Amino acid sequence: MTWTGVILAAGLSTRFRSERPKVIHPLAGRPMIRHSIEALRAAGSPHPPVVVIGPAADLVREAAGPGVRFVRQPAPRGTGDAVRWAEPLLREEASDLLITYADLPLVRPETYRRLMEAHRARRATLTLLTARLSDPTGYGRVVRDEAGRVVRVVEQAEASPEERRLSEINVGVYAVRAAWLWPALARLQPSPVKGELYLTDLVALAVADGEPVEAVPLEDPEEALGVNTRVQLAEAERILRRRINARWMLEGVTLVDPDRVYIGMEAIIGPDTVIYPDTYIEGETRIGRRCRIGPNAILRDAVIGDDCVVEASVVEGAVLADRVHVGPFAHLRPGTRLAEEVRVGNFAEIKNSVVGPRTRMHHFGYLGDATVGADVNIGAGTVTCNYDGVRKHPTVIEDGAFIGSDTMLVAPVRVGRGAKTGAGSVVTRDVPPETLVYGVPARPRPASGSE
């Protein structure tokens, strides 16, 4: 038995009230559709998943990422019609299909695997995922006969009052034998209410054909949450955040207040790191061991070494070696690389710069397009004036230099090894090693008795 996953993403997202398809809206740091794609991949399908797209197809293609195939449903004629457009691509590829929706981001890979295994073990033609909810409003109901066998699924809009009182709902995930599916799709009849072809009608069709139909109940009913509104998006975000945070705590990370820590799906955190409240760890951030992050920190696509501290600061696209201390209220921008034991304090900003070991920039300043050596002191108020209105220019500060408070380094410029600048200097020319300069513009201190 070979499998291919099919993800339906051609809906109009009417209730979401957005100019963009709902399935590309971010959820726990990645587009909603990516959750279904990654879950199917993790479930073990050997073929790349197929996504059925509709309006705004280019946006959905971009959000889905690589390793995905697409077919387009030209007009919104229902879920049954959407799957039909995948037939030319899949007819000869797999014996069974796993069909799901791009707006079901909470279904776990192990749930998909359990559905596939039950479908195979019971030799079913159609196996559907179900759940029992205390409030099933809005979901299609699963109707069973007196023997407990599934006989059909009825959408809420077409359900009788008795059927609406049923608590077992159809999640919208199906395992189905392909050889039966393709001709069965051609036999679907339009809904009398909306005129659409419903995938749910396959259940009654399979029963009428005498084909075995099975149901697998969800172990966690939260997985059944479909995202059709912004309210449901927020609820899905809450559930995913809770899952992510629980995972990292089980991996040895301390979250001081898990309800106030936001960790993206792609992040990696080392053991014995402590994350304080109101911290956001986004994108492909990597954090080492024994770090202290937060409170009030934002890390975005950052790489943090071991034993680092990032307190109340923004670190985006920057790389920190071991034992680096940042903050509070610092901003490290893309291209920044801090070596071991660098200290960056309050209201300091660094962009596209390399800073050597043990260098200190304790407060108030800006380094842009700079290369700074080891054991350098960057005094308060230091600014690299790297932009002339047209181009960016580099600043080089060599090992052991001392940059006095309020120094303006007008790039391109180099400060030599062990050189010093006096407070308030405007440095427009290279400073030789072991030389003190001061003034506006900065000049070397004259030899004793020459004045």
Return the DSSP state at 387.
Answer: B
Residue 120, φ and ψ in degrees, nearest 5: -70, -45
Angle, vertex CA 92, rays to CA 86 and CA 93, nearest 5 = 80
Which residues face 351 on adjacent strands?
368
Is 124 annotated in a binding site? The answer is no
Is 9 labeled as ligand-binding?
A: yes
Is residue 360 a contact partner of residue 373, using CB atoms and an 8 Å limit?
Answer: no
CA distance 192 to 203: 17
333 appears as a binding residue in the annotation: yes
Q: Is 296 assigned to a binding site? A: no
Helix axes 178-186, 201-208, angle to 10 degrees: 110
| Tokens (6 digits) for 431 | 């400073």
Determine whether the annotation assigns residue 312 to a binding site: no
**Is 8 assigned to a binding site?**
yes
Instruction: Look at residue 306 and give its three-state secondary structure.
Output: coil
Q: Is 405 annotated as a binding residue?
A: yes
Question: Annotation-wise, does 228 bind a ligand?
Answer: yes
Is 140 among the annotated ligand-binding positions? yes
Of the CA atoms within 13 Å of residue 149, those in its CB half-sphere come to 13
Q: Is 421 annotated in some ligand binding site?
A: no
22: helix, strand or coil = helix
Classified as helix, coil or strand, 204 is: helix
Residue 366 counted as an annotated binding residue: yes
Please list the alpha-helical segments (H only) found in 56-121. 57-64, 79-84, 87-90, 109-121
From the candidates 35, 119, 331, 363, give the one annotated as an active-site residue.
363
Is 103 assigned a ligand-binding role in the annotation?
A: yes
What number of other Cβ atoms are within 10 A of residue 325's Cβ? 20
Residue 35 catalytic? no
Q: Is 73 annotated as a binding residue?
A: yes
d(CA 296, CA 310): 9
Q: Is 302 annotated as a binding residue?
A: no
The annotation status of 420 as a binding-site residue, yes or no, is no
Q: Which residues are annotated as a binding site for Mg(2+)?
A: 103, 228
Question: Which sequence positions are flagged as catalytic?
Answer: 363
Q: Which residues are annotated as a binding site for acetyl-CoA?
A: 380, 386-387, 405, 423
- Annotated binding residues: 8-11, 22, 73, 78-79, 103, 140, 155, 170, 228, 333, 351, 366, 377, 380, 386-387, 405, 423
Binding residues for UDP-N-acetyl-alpha-D-glucosamine: 8-11, 22, 73, 78-79, 140, 155, 170, 228, 333, 351, 366, 377
